Structure 1
Amino acid sequence: MTELCITATPTFNSKPQRLADFATLPEALDYAAEGCTGFNFHDNRGRLLAPLGYVEVRRRAIEAARRLMSLGLERGDRVAVIADTDPAFMEVFFGCQYAGLVPVPMPIPMSIGGHERYVARLERLIESCGARVAIAPSHMVRYIEEIPSVDTLAFHGDIDALRALPNPEDMVLEPSGPDEIAYLQYTSGSTGFPRGVEIRQHAIMANLRAILASGLAVRPQDRCVSWLPFYHDMGLVGFVLGPMASQLSVDYLGPREFAMRPRLWLTLMTRNRGSIAFAPPFGYDLCTRRLHGSDIDRLDLSAWRVAGVGAEPVLPDVLDSFAEHFAAAGFDRRAFLPSYGMAENSLAVSFAPLGIGLSLDRVDRDVLEQHGEARPLDDDRVAGLNTTSFVNCGHPLPGHDISIRDGDGHPLPERHVGRVTIRGPSLMSGYFHDHEQTRRVLGDDGWFDTGDLGYLTSQGLHVTGRHKDLIIINGRNIWPQDIEALASQMAGVNRGELTAMSAPPEESEVDVVVLLQTTLSDERARAALIKELSAGIRSEFGVRCTVSLLPPRTLPRTSSGKISRSQARRQYAAQLREAMDAVSTPSAAASS
């Protein structure tokens, strides 16, 4: 008995490459289906599990579209789909495109918290988008079934249950048009509950064209490799829709599998000669910390020409460590490509220039904190000064604009820090069923307030942080990532395990709070770490600081895995109030 041999879809296509010059996603898939490339799914050992050519994606999507419409759904109805890294996601997502329905990718439970908390979050998401249908992988259907309002849905179940529905082959499908909503993309929720971003077909196609042709300069010989979750904009747009719209093959590893075995990502890059892969800084950091010796000897990363960095602030020290660590495997640090983007702009706003790696702007930190001006420094003027550096995220994509503005909306000159506002054809039409919040951030003139702070130079955009995260003390603007960078230089402190924030009003004797996850159990070691951190921060920044040590996996994170400073601050303030109430409220025994 011979084993069935499956092979991945090829890198080189049989059709001439087109870079997203289509009106809609269905048109893009129609063309991709004429070639031989596609999606490739790998298991937790890196073995090829399911190659899915675009021709098969289209066939399954059209069948799914007919089955969904057999439920009596109306055009524009929302279909919630738990976005695990699975071929079924492609079937449902693209099925909606051919049916004129709106797919809504939902997060998987890996980074949300406990079971009950995930179900509650899922219920809120499904209710907020008004989904008529909810589909999940077979092992996750139980989460949907536990939602109290599940019986109000027209259909819920896994892909097998969907495939069991009638398939009226004579049904005439009307795919989504250029002005219709292509999908709802929920924000990561870093500053509050996630909002559903309306992305229309013309917006996503405009962003894909700019990304593929200008930002990445995609070539026919490129191949993508990704572990990014499909419910995040970088995973969905960058590594599902982008490869499809440029007819590239892409190799997938699930985010949980990457977290458990990060070497599998680089092994796939080696095996299939991957040339385009993105990750947040913590992904590169995880590889550096987990892979050593013989692991590196077996890698060949010489084909990796675009090592994209996004989804969170770019950390130069993390990327420098990765480049040094994997230089022996052929990794070229010039492959690093910082970028700036967000779900509200489909995905990307700007890219740094290709082929030069990280470009840092070193500035006087005292002038920055006190006057909001990023005064540049050269090597001759660094000695004796407090300095900080920001990564250049490049100029906006063609047809897009960036403007830095003050609190009143007036444009600021170069090197003055202000609110980052953007404009262009890739912007959302609004937050779904949230006209008030849409009006707050998206003006009638087409400019969108990102909520980020940054400044412009002749080289491009430099992002300094989130406006809501800024620590303001006696008129000084202190960036939490500067405090976190200092803390991470101390022994036993990992950059991805801490957050710095302004102290809540209840803690009047303190300026800054640092929350740090640690496995330290020895009381002397814990006390020494707190003392060293507090003293170092006080000496460097001149602020009063309290350090709180937390158990591992305690800090709240967004659906994309980032630490949520705003939620951490709320939780810390709530715990502080509880402690103060316990001290100030007499016990029953004492009052009797």
Structure 2
Amino acid sequence: MLDVIAKDNKLAPPGATATLDDLPRRIADFATLGEALDFAATGTRGLNFHDPRGTLSRAYGYAELRRDSLAGARRLIGLGLEPGDRVALVAETGPEFAAGFFAAIYAGLWPVPLPLPTSFGGREAYVEQLTVMLTSSDPALFLYPSELADFCVAAGDRRQVRAMSWEELAAAPVDEALALPQAKPEDIAYLQYSSGSTRFPHGVAVTHHALLDNLRAHGLGLNVEPTDRVVSWLPWYHDMGLVGCFLSPLANQLSVDYLKTEDFARRPLAWLDLVSRNPGTTLSYSPTFGYDICARRMSSQLKAQDRFDLSRWRIAGNGADMIRPDVMQAFVDAFAGAGFKASAFCPSYGLAEATLAVSLMPPGEGIRLELVEESQLSGAAAADGQDRPKRFRAIVNCGRPVEGMEIEIRSADGAILPDREIGKVWVRGASIMEGYFRDKEATDACMVGGWLDTGDMGYLSAGYIFIVGRAKDMIIINGRNHWPQDIEWAVEQLPGFKSGDIAAFAITGPSGEEQPAVLVHCRVSDLEERSRLRDDIKERVRAITGISPVVELIAPRTLPRTSSGKLSRTKARNLYLSGEIVPLDIAA
């Protein structure tokens, strides 16, 4: 391990890979991902894996990663795999996945990161999820951690895919004389499945050129500095974790300190402990819910400054879901005493189909808001014949397009809209995906002339992009559009609720009319109190939509999540309509 520890390592935890070394910085200006690792391996930076308490358990320098990956590439070729074959890998945060991913890269194969189990659904749901993704990606080999053998072997058997544990691959023979293929920039580097992939998953095919273009734009957009170091708990099966917190640090020669996602879920404040104890940490990312849960875990008796030091945190990235300004303010309120600066927040917008980043807020600008009147969001006329007070929603500025990325806002008929008019978000750039793997119909449905229809709604203002929601989530009632986030946020204002407790969507009523339905986690046991709570929720939703909704109280931790932790409204709706989500009893 001594070869990965720098002479002057004051900005890194004891025994960890260096924050600073003598390697000249290159901002992802490589032709292929393998070249990026080849260069990073000449320095002393790398990946560092920590246990649930944040104690360093393994320093894994880029030089060691490269050695293991080259050996793994020759093992894969020795198993009979050929360039262009897919290798599915369960994306557990650890050196085995990192080496397996780059082994596939060096062998000219396409790595396919697959998710870990979630708490929702149990064994059969996870095996089915793996089976569906194996069906879509059609891999020649499926690699997994031994503790998940029961799940992964079952999924492999269903699709007749050869399944092998990390340990079995490591025991395979290595022919050191075996020549490795030379990747070209236009070759596919990997397949990325979006976090919402369920019954009909879409594997995003990303080329080396597209990836490196986005990684360079990411490094430039964040103004990467010599002393930067990253802390992450984000899963590697999601694009923000894989690209933003694994491949981007590597291509920009940054050291990273990792907590496993499941360890963060059990002890969220361990994330901030790791930031505090690590003297070099300047960059760390999270969706809104990560900041939310940390702010909520702070007790009134504990002062943040007594436990944390967040003063060096330069970039607190936020993306992967709608950014909640109230949550960001709550985080500032909870941790300002520990040195956290609101200006560190870096809102962003991205999606797997664009490799990762579409826009970033320039560092130091923090959270900036615009208030948008409800009629603009809903598409209704400003004066709809009703004498009602105006309602506004605060929309978070998601920054400027990253280098090489173009953004247009288009109407339903394809016309380009001017500033501050809401429409469909379209993007174009060198980092846009090659297409969905073996799905020309889905590719053609969202890509036209090099432009990608993101499926998101938003508007531009003075060169900045503002995202207001997903087009497919919109609830349309009596010709008016309602965003589920507005309904959910309104319910969250009632005492006892938090982000992620509510899912809003549309269902068809008995007379064939559309009506809003709201599923709400309920922690109240008294039946009469539940009844009163349901009535309060109905009144809140009626105030937003003008229509009496269906409100169902359900047990806590029932609402489904995507693999990246986002609420899945589509799955919640399907589970509710199929009877798999069962409402709680209330007083008659």
Bin for the TM-score computed over the shorter chain? over 0.9
Which amino acid is 2:18 matched to?
P
Matches within 5 A, 1:346-425: 346-371=355-380, 384-425=389-430
- Which one of the candidate residues 471, 486, 492 is aligned to 2:496? 492
Q: Which runs of 4+ in 1 moved over 4 A?
A: 505-510, 576-579
Letter in 1 for 2:297: R
- Alignment length, in residue pairs? 563
Q: Which residue of 1 aligns with 2:188?
A: 181
Q: Check if 1:232 corresponds to 2:238.
A: yes
Aligned counterpart for 2:557 among listed residues 553, 560, 563 = 553
Structure 2 counterpart of 1:428, which letter? M
Match in the other structure for 1:429: 434
Following the alignment from structure 1 to structure 2, what is the Cα–Cα distance between the partners of residues 67 and 475?
Answer: 59
Name 1:512's counterpart in structure 2.
Answer: 516
1:583 is matched with which residue? Answer: none
What is the aligned-residue RMSD (CA, Å)? 2.1
What's the CA shift string for 1:2-46, capped at 9, x where partnerless? xxx971111112201111010111000000000000000001111
* 1:211 equivalenced with 2:218 (yes/no): yes
Structure 2 CA distance, aligned partners of 1:229 and 1:193?
A: 21
Choose from 40, 46, 59 the match for 2:54.
Answer: 46
Quick check: 1:19–1:209 contact (8 Å CA) kept in 2? yes
TM-score (normalised: structure 1): 0.92
Q: Is the 1:518–1:549 Cα contact (8 Å) retained in structure 2? A: yes
The residue type paired with residue 439 of structure 1 is: D
Equivalent position to 2:322, from 298, 313, 319: 313
For the pair 1:338 / 2:347, whether they are aligned, the reply is yes
Instruction: Say whether 1:269 aligns with 2:275.
Output: yes
SS in 1 for 2:390: coil
| C-alpha displacement of 1:126 | 1.1
The residue type equivalent to 1:199 in the other structure is V
> 1:365: how far off?
1.3
Distance, in Å, in 2 between the alignment partners of 1:351 and 1:224 is 17
Q: Does 2:66 align with 1:62?
A: no
Distance in 2 (alpha carbons) for counterparts of 1:494 and 1:179: 45
Moved more, 130-139 or 563-572: 563-572
For the residues of structure 2 that align with 1:199 and 1:64, how far apart are their CA atoms?
Answer: 22
- Are 1:11 and 2:39 an aligned pair? no
Shift of 1:568: 1.5
Aligned position for 2:98: 90
Match of 1:535 in 2: 539
Rounded Cα–Cα distance in structure 1 between residues aligned with 2:323 and 2:497: 18
| Structure 1 residue matching 2:67: 3-state secondary structure | helix
The within-5 A match list for 1:65-84 is: 65-84=73-92
Distance 1:576 1:475 in 2: 30
Letter in 2 for 1:417: I
Q: Residues 568 and 224 (structure 1 numbering): CA distance in 2 closer, same or farther, change over 3 Å?
A: same
What letter is aligned with 1:40?
Answer: N
Q: 1:455 aligns with which of 448, 456, 459?
A: 459
Whether 1:24 and 2:32 are equivalent positions in the alignment is: yes
Identical columns (%):
47
Is the Cα–Cα contact under 8 Å of residues 376 and 422 in structure 2 kept in the other structure? no
Tell me the equivalent position of 1:287: 294
Length-normalised TM-score, structure 2:
0.92
Q: Which amino acid in structure 2 is aligned with residue 303 of structure 1? A: R
Counterpart of 2:247 (choices 241, 248, 251) is 241
Using the alignment, how far apart are the partners of 1:127 and 1:486 within structure 2?
Answer: 41
Distance 1:412 1:228 in 2: 35
- Aligned partner (choices 477, 481, 486) of residue 485 of structure 2: 481
Q: Secondary structure at the match of 1:146?
A: helix
Q: What are the residue-to-residue correspondences of 1:245-256 with 2, within 5 Å?
A: 245-256=251-262
Partner of 2:5: none
The equivalent residue for 1:303 is 312
- Following the alignment from structure 1 to structure 2, what is the Cα–Cα distance between the partners of residues 439 and 151? 28
| Alpha-carbon distance between aligned partners in 2 of 1:55 and 1:442, rounded to the nearest angstrom | 39
Q: CA deviation at 1:177?
A: 1.9
Q: Which amino acid aligns with 1:239?
A: C
Does structure 2 retain, via aligned residues, the 8 Å contact 1:517–1:551?
yes
| Residue identity matched to 1:238 | G
Partner residue, 2:175: 168
CA 1:576/1:130 → structure 2, altered by over 3 Å: closer, same or farther? closer
Question: Which has the higher mean CA deviation after the structures are superposed, 471-480 or 566-575?
Answer: 566-575
Q: Structure 2, unaligned stretches of length 5 or more?
A: 1-12, 383-387, 584-588
8 Å contact from structure 1 (residues 416, 455) kept in 2: yes
1:15 counterpart letter in structure 2: L
Q: Distance in 1 between matches of 2:508 and 2:577?
A: 6
Number of the residue aligned with 1:378? none
Contact 1:111 1:559 in 2 (8 A): no
The DSSP-based 3-state class of the residue aligned with 2:508 is coil
In 1, the alpha carbon distance for the partners of 2:163 and 2:544 equals 55
